[in-house]
Amino acid sequence: MRLSRYFLPVLKETPSEAQIASHRLMLRAGMIKQASAGIYSWLPLGFKVLRKLENIVHEEQIRAGHVPMLMPTLQSAELWKESGRYDAYGPEMLRIRDRQDRDMLYGPTNEEMITDIFRSHVNSYKDLPLTLYHVQWKFRDEIRPRFGVMRGREFFMKDGYNFDLTKEDALHAYNRHLVSYLRTYERMGLQAIPMRADSGPIGGDDTHEFLVLAETGESEVFYDSQITELTFGDREIDYDSVEACQAVMEEFTSRYARTDETHDEAVFAEVPEERRRVARGIEVGQIFYFGTKYSDAMGATVQGPDGKSVPVHMGSHGIGVSRLVGAIIEANHDDRGIIWPEGVTPFHVGIVNLKSGDAEADAACDALYSAFVSKGLEPLLDDTNERAGGKFATMDLIGLPWRITVGPRGLKNGVVEVTSRRTGESEEMSPEAAIEKIVGIYAAL
């Protein structure tokens, strides 16, 4: 993309309404614009990141054997009356009446609807196991929306639902989700720690929240510092293997890590003192096993191997996709702006032309631009007439991991400058070497 043809309305001033870094930086970098309280338009740069996260979520869910579909945003109140949650949900549910005076609502989650789909079509244990998921806009009418996309009212979420014959099978689905989530967050450049949590209005016994450590997190968390040394890395996993998934689950949940809702001072005291940590975290996902709560209430049964009808065991599993954009920024920024992890950066490399209009500089920039495009990377070329200082400030603000600076002086010596946004270190090299270096970095992801 050439900046002269893009829509990147960066702000010079820090917006006064933004209290946390990610909100400030998303506004300043022209990623979002508030449409109403807690409701945002995703401007081109923001949308690009959101879409990348959505694609990573899809890839990892499909890898785990889960099946994508899409449920609508608006739901009939009927199903929620059946489960008993219509009255229980409270004022965070946005209730709507349509022109025929039917009670509708903007879905905050989809347990009822997916259970209805399941019971309409599945009758036999032979069709299990089954995990269906979607990535769709949700709405929760928060009384005090704030922190930008971190606590918005309209938000983009992946929610998945497993249907299994037995509790054991459902716990395997639980573990499969845990593994797939670890992979998902790591690909986004995040360390998200599974912590024992409270199930809240979804119900159920087994649940873990995934938390990204950040000073601005809404939850107080307590953990054994050993857990931060764990990474899933590039190990292969067979998602069909009960033992393999169970082993990962145990590895990542056997150390103390809890939110304040489930924190137990006595158990925490057993962790060696030098490893006890109290910090704040941002919740970016949650997995639940809730047994037959919804299948009982809504009659979602299958015929088992013995011919008897049994309610299916279910769980639900969510990733907050829009909130993740904020969480990634909370965990990756400095005074000058955002620092995107390579896995989610909106553009792979920024090219700054120090002297737009200079024939040689323009040609060198165009050649770099075309070379990256031909290698399947997306460069952002600042071909505007702004002065160099302004161009650097914009590149730092929007946080592309790599910048190539092209100017007439360097070109005389056959070099351009390659700068890492994270370390700030610069290196001069030939344009060919710069291409090779950056293409290599992304190829290794």
What are the residues binding its own copies (CB under 8 A)?
Answer: 5-7, 9, 30, 33, 35-37, 39-44, 46-48, 50, 65, 67-76, 91-92, 94, 96, 98-100, 102, 104, 106, 113, 117, 120-122, 127, 130, 132, 134, 137, 139, 141, 143, 153-154
- Cα 405 to Cα 413: distance, rounded to the nearest angstrom: 14
Shortest Cβ distance from residue 122 to its own copies (Å)? 7
Contact assessment for residue 23 and residue 321, using Cβ atoms and an 8 Å cutoff: no
Of 24 and 258, the one with the shorter C-beta distance to its own copies is: 24
Of 6 and 268, the one with the shorter C-beta distance to its own copies is: 6
Shortest Cβ distance from residue 418 to its own copies (Å)? 27
Shortest Cβ distance from residue 119 to its own copies (Å)? 11
Q: Position of tokens 């161009």?
A: 391
Secondary structure E strands in 88-231: 94-97, 103-106, 130-139, 154-164, 192-196, 206-213, 219-224
Of 228 and 384, the one with the shorter C-beta distance to its own copies is: 384
- Cα 314 to Cα 291: distance, rounded to the nearest angstrom: 5
Which residues sit opposite 281 in a β-bridge? 213, 219
Shortest Cβ distance from residue 208 to its own copies (Å)? 25
Angstrom distances, CA of residue 159 to CA of 40, 74, 440, 443? 21, 15, 34, 30
Three-state DSSP state, 41: strand
Shortest Cβ distance from residue 148 to its own copies (Å)? 13
Of 107 and 337, the one with the shorter C-beta distance to its own copies is: 107
**Distant-in-sequence, close-in-space partners of 195: CB < 8 Å, separation ≥ 6:** 208, 209, 210, 211, 221, 223, 257, 258, 259, 262, 281
Type of residue numbered 393: A
Shortest Cβ distance from residue 382 to its own copies (Å)? 14
Shortest Cβ distance from residue 120 to its own copies (Å)? 7
Of 98 and 250, the one with the shorter C-beta distance to its own copies is: 98
Q: Nearest 10 degrees: CA dihedral of 267, 271, 273, 276?
A: -90
Contact assessment for residue 378 and residue 1, using Cβ atoms and an 8 Å cutoff: yes
Q: Return phi, psi of residue 383, to 5°.
A: -105, 20
DSSP per residue, 368-412: HHHHHHHTT--EEEE-S---HHHHHHHHHHHT-SEEEEE-HHHHH
Shortest Cβ distance from residue 240 to its own copies (Å)? 10
- Cα 214 to Cα 218: distance, rounded to the nearest angstrom: 9
Residue 249: enclosing H or E segment and its boundaries?
Answer: helix 242-253
Of 68 and 228, the one with the shorter C-beta distance to its own copies is: 68
**Distant-in-sequence, close-in-space partners of 78: CB < 8 Å, separation ≥ 6:** 103
Of 219 and 384, the one with the shorter C-beta distance to its own copies is: 384
Q: Tell me how crowded residue 154 is: count the other CB atoms within 10 A of its CB.
A: 20
Contact assessment for residue 156 and residue 136, using Cβ atoms and an 8 Å cutoff: yes
Of 138 and 208, the one with the shorter C-beta distance to its own copies is: 138
Contact assessment for residue 114 and residue 120, using Cβ atoms and an 8 Å cutoff: no
Of 267 and 373, the one with the shorter C-beta distance to its own copies is: 373
Length of the chain equals 445
Shortest Cβ distance from residue 69 to its own copies (Å)? 5
Q: Position of tokens 């249907």?
A: 163
Shortest Cβ distance from residue 79 to its own copies (Å)? 9
Of 114 and 371, the one with the shorter C-beta distance to its own copies is: 114
Shortest Cβ distance from residue 168 to its own copies (Å)? 19
Of 211 and 237, the one with the shorter C-beta distance to its own copies is: 237
